[in-house]
Amino acid sequence: MKTAFFYNPKAGSKIPADVVLNRLAAFFEGDELFVADSALLLPGLPLQLVDVSTDGLGYYDTILHRVRALTESGVERFACVGGDGTATYLRTALYQLGLDLPILGVAAGTANVGPIISVKLEALEGRHISEAGELSYDGVVLLGPDGAPLSLAFNDLIVGDTFLATVDGKSCNVSVHKLLDEGQLVAQTPREDLIREDFHVELNGKSFSPALKDVQQIIISSVAHESHYGRAVYGAIGKCDWSEKKGLIALCDHIAVTFEENDAGTGRFSASQHLLFGPGDDVVLYGFEPGAALVCDGNPYKLVGESFAIRYENNLVRTITLK
């Protein structure tokens, strides 16, 4: 079996490369092991370098080029060490290349929520890949203005202008635009006014406008692997347990994805509204202010125009898990 190691040394935990690679090499003992970054060629480890030029490329394009080179060399699975964003970038690259290879996600990020990132590095100690199993998870595909897949989201797709990251060792909300425009990680309080009054969702050609007027954040997610059945408190979300519609659009009257404290649900009643969607549904969201951005599992993208489209896909990622 040919296995590629994909490591983000800048992920929030900043685990030393020698610790990561020695643990992975032992876990995958017997495999042919590949990397596409010469910085990972540590002495004493049986790693093969797939040499690919990434000069002048941006962060994601570097990932895409390296993933393409590794798969063209016959790699059959990946071990990804980083945060949720790193793992989603990897799966997005494979998806755009038309490939569906299993991924072992090892936690080393700011907020390791999953589902791809599901194993701690220390859990690999004394274990071997032969003991592992495989699980598949649904997800959401974000489509670009040209209709082509732009990114995937397995935990959540956020409409906002900040994402969660680690700056100088501190977890905080970070400006999307400062990163994309200037390459800087700058702490910023999320804006609460990115959705216009004419906001609406078109689901299979039918328009839905919310009754909730003070929408501060929109969260889109798959809830396929959570249990809500018999819990009336979940309201319409409970339908996800017996319906094929397991995608959820949530409109919130507060900033839900944040490291900053607020009183929603503790010091006051919080409000949210939900719309469900599933495989085969055409979904377009309209009505955003300039400055709104999209964050897929922590990875930021500029919103081009005033709308964006999404679709739901079953079994969008194959993950390697320890039994």
How do the domains of the chain map onto residue ranges?
2-127, 149-314
Q: For 203-207, what is the mean pLDDT?
A: 98
Q: Percentage of residues in the chain with pLDDT exceeding 70?
A: 98
Q: Which residues of 68-103 are buried (b: 16+ CB within 10 A; e: fewer)?
A: bbbbeeebebbbbbbbbbbbbbbbbbbbbeeeebbb
Task: Please give the angle made by the CA atoms of 154, 156 and 161, to the nearest 5 degrees.
Answer: 140
Query: Is the pLDDT reported for residue 180 higher than 70?
Result: yes
Question: Who wins on pLDDT, 299 or 226?
Answer: 299
Can you list the alpha helix ranges (DSSP code H) found in the chain?
Answer: 17-27, 59-72, 84-96, 176-182
pTM recorded for the entire structure: 0.94
How many Å apart are CA 268 and CA 225, to the nearest integer?
30
Residue with structure tokens 């974000």?
Answer: 142
Res 188: pLDDT: 95
Res 11: pLDDT: 64
Query: Is the pLDDT reported for residue 12 higher than 60?
Result: no
Query: Is the pLDDT reported for residue 15 higher than 80?
Result: no
Report helix, strand or coil for 290: coil
Residue with structure tokens 């990680």?
Answer: 185
Other Cβ atoms closer than 10 A to 25: 19
Instruction: Report the relative pairing of strands 103-107 and 117-120 from DSSP bridges.
Output: parallel
Report helix, strand or coil for 247: strand
Q: How confident is the model at residue 114 (pLDDT cuts 50, 70, 90)?
A: confident
Average pLDDT, the chain: 93
Residue pair 297/218 in contact by the 8 Å Cβ criterion: no
| The CATH number fitting domain 149-314, selected from 1.10.1760, 2.60.40, 3.40.50, 2.60.200 | 2.60.200
Q: How confident is the model at residue 8 (pLDDT cuts 50, 70, 90)?
A: confident
Residue pair 27/127 in contact by the 8 Å Cβ criterion: yes
Kindly give, in sequence order, each residue whose CB lies less than 8 Å from that of residue 293, ignoring residues fewer than 6 positions away: 159, 160, 161, 176, 177, 180, 300, 301, 302, 303
- What is the CB-side half-sphere exposure of residue 190 using CA atoms within 13 A? 28
User: May I ask the CATH architecture of the domain 2-127?
Assistant: 3-Layer(aba) Sandwich (3.40)
Res 112: pLDDT: 75
